[in-house]
Amino acid sequence: MNPNSVGKTPCILIVDDEPDIRNIFQKGIQNVSYTCLTANGADEALEILQMQHVDVVVSDINMPEMNGLELIKVIKERHDSDVIIMTGYIEDFTYEEIIGRGASDFIQKPVRISEFIARLKRVIFERETLAQRDKAAESLRLNLEKFQRAMDGIIHAISLTVELRDPYTAGHQQRVSDLAAAIAMDMGLAADRVYGLRMASSIHDLGKITIPSEILCKPGPLGRLEYELIKNHVQAGYDILKKIEFPWPLAEIILQHHERMDGSGYPHALKGERILLEARILAVSDVFETMSSHRPYRPALGLNRAIEELVHNKGRLYDTAVAETCLKLIVEKGFRFGDNRGSFEEPNGQLSLEQRLFPD
């Protein structure tokens, strides 16, 4: 259905091998100010359809060259036209059969021209209604794309704002986002949930803009009060986002990403499945990336140490399925961080999981 045809004068093509029938229908159609073309058979009809747009083809069934049912098939494959079938041999066909072939209506000859025009108008009305719906759907799709691009830009700007205050972790949120999305996809989450998780992960440290930069960049161990300030970043991030109506629970995911399965996390000591699945995925991604990377208070602990953390604490601190999926991505599928985005490398030969985890 072409949305651009809405509002234009409908063009009707009459296909019948009897000249008198063509003339009668053509006069009736022209009396209601529709454009009407005629063809004496399927071949001529297809030539006309190649040259110009036709809204409705009205075709007899029994014709030489190609019958009306065969013509329906060709029209539906090649052209954007509705088809009304007419025949005087009603006992040879059923309404369900004709409609099942793709026709929009089925008329028995002889037919009163007034009844034909009424049924033709109904087909055109339904056609225009469908075209308007398609046009509205396309407009909605374009607006949603614009909204998504704007939202992506806002999230990216927020992420950069956080990283400008904490240069030692520049790229951290993006790398966590890439790993979290890879885990979620491997676990079979719907694309919409993966997208929401990626957005939340991209700004999961938003609350750190409330923390003094000298604490964020302190090159040594944090004191107790300093650590409590750092811990408050999840609540601060939640408070910033909670009144914004995102299609996904971004604020809640950010609030919960330091909760742990055994209740030892913060800020609310949630346990098990009381923690959103997206937050459990973000927690594993955040811990793994943090341990793999340099921090102002310590050098990078390395990939093996990060793997060991997940192996020993899955089921206690981290969701077992999430941790195992992350390990599979890292160890078996060769996921690596690089250039602020996740990538996959070839697995290390045919070594077993244990050999890859603990090569020594």
pLDDT (0 to 100) of residue 131: 87
For the stretch 122-159, pLDDT in tens is: 999 999 999 899 888 888 888 888 877 877 787 878 77
Other beta carbons within 10 angstroms of residue 176's beta carbon come to 28
Give me the numbers of helices (H) and strands (E) for the chain, helices first please: 15, 7
The sign of the torsion formed by the CA atoms of 173, 326, 230, 249 equals positive
- The pLDDT score that the predictor gives to residue 300 is 56
CA separation (Å) from 156 to 129, 170, 173, 185, 223?
Answer: 40, 13, 10, 21, 32
Question: Would you report the helix, strand and coil content of the chain in percent, each value rounded to 5?
Answer: 60, 10, 30
pLDDT band at 47 (very low <50, low <70, confident <90, very high): very high
Q: Across residues 197-218, what is the average pLDDT?
A: 86
Domain boundaries, the chain: 3-136, 166-357
The more confident residue out of 95 and 69 is: 69
Of 104-108, 152-156, 233-237, 343-347, which gets the smallest average pLDDT? 343-347
Name the most confidently modeled range: 8-12, 126-130, 173-177, 266-270.
266-270
CATH number of 166-357: 1.10.3210.10
How confident is the model over 269-313, as pLDDT tens digits? 999 999 999 999 999 999 999 888 755 555 556 788 889 999 999
Structural domain 3-136, CATH architecture: 3-Layer(aba) Sandwich (3.40)
> Comparing 46-50, 163-167, 208-212, 249-253, which segment has the lowest mean pLDDT?
163-167
